[in-house]
Structure 1
Amino acid sequence: MSQRRVVVVDDHDMFRAGVRSEIGASVDIVGEGADVDSAVKAIVAAEPDVVLLDVHLPGGGGTEVMKQVHQRHPEVKFLALSVSDAAEDVIGVIRAGARGYVTKNISGTELVDAIGRVADGDAVFSPRLAGFVLDAFSGAIDIASVDEDLDRLSQREREVLRLIARGYAYKEVARELFISVKTVETHVSSVLRKLQLSNRHELTRWATDRRLV
C-alpha cells in the first residue's frame, strides 16, 4: 500500500521538524503550514489524504483552516494534533469537521496509525478524550453554555483563565504570556466580571467543572 500523503500544520518550526523526523519514513509529507494562509495554500496545492492540524494558529486557528479548505475540497480529512485537551478546543475542531483529535504526547507509531485510520474514514481520539467527546455529544456536558460563556471572553482572557485555573500565580502567568503582572490583573478582573464570579477560587471551580483545565 502506498504511503499516506500528509500536510503538517503547526506554527512552531521545531515541532514540524520533529514530526518530519518521527514519522517521515512512514508517511509522505507533501506540505507544511505555519499559519492559516500558508496552511490553506499548502493543503489546496497538495490535496493530501490527511492534514495534521494544530488547534491554535495565527490568522484564525485550526477551525478557520478547515472552513476555508472544506469550501473547495470537502473530501480532505483533518486530524487535530494539539497540546490542549480543553473542552472548547476539542469540541470546536470536531464541530468544524476534524475526524479526530490527539494530544502531542502521542508516540510516532501511534500517530502513523491514527493517520491511517483517519484516511480510511475512522474517527480517532486520544483515550482520555474519547469518553469526553461522547459525554459532550450525548448531552452529559452542556457544551452550548460553555461556548456561550467563553464567547464573552477574548482569546487572551481565555489563556489567562486557563493558567489561573491551573494554579499559576500572577507572576507566572505574566512570564508565560509575556505580559505584565498588571495586565494579568486586568484580564482576571475582566474574566471575573464577565463570568459573574467573585474570586480566583470560584474561577478555578468554574473552569474545572467545564473541563477547561
Structure 2
Amino acid sequence: MPPRNLPPRSETPTTPEDLINVAMVEDDAACLHALAHAVEAAPRLRMAWAAANLRTALARLPDEPIDVLLVDLGLPDGSGLDLIAAARGRWPDCAVMVSTIFGDETHVLRAIEAGAMGYVLKDLSAEELVEEIHSLHAGGSPINPMVARKLLMQRSTPPAAAPAPLAATPLSARESEVLRLIARGYTVEEVAGALGVSPHTVQTFVRRIYTKLQVNSRAEAVREGTRQGWLSAD
C-alpha cells in the first residue's frame, strides 16, 4: 500500500479526469516509499496503489483503471513480466514502464514483448522517474540511453558480401517518417511539431501504421520496422 502521511501535491487538478493514475510494484521498501512520495507530490499524478510483490499486484489490478504502471522485473514471488502481460490484458490503454537493475538485451526484449513501453534502470532519482512517467503518458517511450545503445550495438551485424535487398515497406513516405520519429522516442505532439502537422493527423498516421504492420503498440511497430530493416540504428 502507498505510504501514509504523504506531502500534498504541489498542484491539484481541478477535476479527477485530469489526473494520471499511477500504480507501482517494487519490493524495495525504501525505494517504494521514495517513489510514492515523489508521485504524490507531482502535478497531475495520483498514486492509485502500490505493491511489494507479484501476488498483491495481480490482486489489485481489477480495482480501477490504471494509466501508468511502474514495475520491477525481479519480484520476490515471480517475474514482473507476468504482471506486464496481465496489466495490458486487463487495461489495454495502460502504459507500462519497467524500472529495474537488469540492462541486458534479453530482459529488455522480453519486457517489450510482454507489453512494456518504457524501460529505465534504477539509477534514476525519484524526481527523474516522475518526469519519465509524464513522458510515457504523453506518448513517449522512455528508455535508458545506455540500454538503448547496448541493444543497437548487440543487434547490429557486420555487412555481408552480398547483402539481401530490404523488404519493401507498405508504408507511405510520411508514415515511414512518423515511424522513424516514434522509434526515436518522440511523443505525438513532438512528431506533429517536427512534421508541421496537427497531433490528430499524427494519430491518424499511427493508426495506419498499426494496421499495415498488423501490430497493436508503438513498441511492436518499432520492433517490426527494425526487423524488416526499415529503421536505421542512428
TM-score tier (shorter): 0.5 to 0.7
Q: 1:43 to 1:132 in 2, by over 3 A?
A: farther
Contact 1:53 1:78 in 2 (8 A): yes
The residue number in structure 1 matching 2:33 is 17
Taking structure 1 as reference, are residues 94 and 133 closer, same or farther at Cα in structure 2, changes over 3 Å only?
A: farther
- For residues 125-136 of structure 1, what are the structure 2 equivalents within 5 Å? 125-135=143-153
Rounded Cα–Cα distance in structure 1 between residues aligned with 2:118 and 2:144: 8
Q: What's the counterpart of residue 168 of structure 1?
A: none
Are 2:51 and 1:33 equivalent residues in the alignment? yes
Partner residue, 1:4? 20
From 97, 106, 112, the equivalent of 1:94 is: 112
Q: Give the equivalent residue in structure 2 for 1:68.
A: 86
Structure 1 residues 12 and 46, CA gap change in structure 2 (3 angstroms): farther
Q: How many residues align?
A: 139
**Matched-pair contact (CA < 8 Å) for 1:53–1:81:** yes
Deviation of 1:5 after TM superposition, in Å, equals 1.3
The one-character-per-residue Cα deviations of 1:95-122 (angstroms, maximum 9, x if unpaired) are 2110111111112332112111211222
Query: Can you give the 5+ residue segments of structure 1 that lack an aligned partner in the other structure?
Result: 142-213
C-alpha separation in 2, matches of 1:24 and 1:106:
17
- Whether the 8 Å contact between 2:34 and 2:126 is mirrored in structure 1 is no
Structural RMSD (CA)? 2.0
Per-residue deviation, 1:64:
0.4
User: Alpha-carbon deviations, 1:15-39, whole Å to 9, x = none?
Assistant: 2111112332012111012222211
CA distance in 2, matches of 1:62, 1:116: 21
How far the C-alpha of 1:124 sits from its partner, in A, is 0.7
Rounded to whole Å, the distance in 2 between the matches of 1:134 and 1:3 is 35
Aligned partners of 2:100 and 2:137: how far apart in 1? 19
Does residue 57 of the first structure (1) align with residue 57 of the second (2)? no
Cα pair distance change 1:120/1:134, threshold 3 Å: farther
Q: Is the 8 A contact 1:31 1:43 kept in 2?
A: no
Identity %: 24
Q: Which whole-Å CA distance do the structure 2 matches of 1:135 and 1:31 have between them?
A: 38
Q: For 1:4 and 1:134, how far apart are their aligned partners in 2?
A: 32
Larger helix proportion of the pair = 1
For residue 103 of structure 2, give the secondary structure of its aligned residue in structure 1.
coil
Q: Secondary structure at the match of 2:156?
A: coil
CA distance in 2, matches of 1:40, 1:9: 10
Q: 1:79 aligns with which of 90, 97, 111?
A: 97
- Inter-partner Cα distance in structure 1 for 2:127 and 2:28: 21
**What whole-Å deviation, never above 9, does each CA across 1:70-100 have from its counterpart, x for those lacking one?**
2222221111011221222222211211011
Q: Which runs of 5+ in 2 are unaligned?
A: 1-12, 158-234
> Which residue is 1:113 aligned to?
131
Where do 4+ consecutive residues of structure 1 move more than 3 Å? 133-136
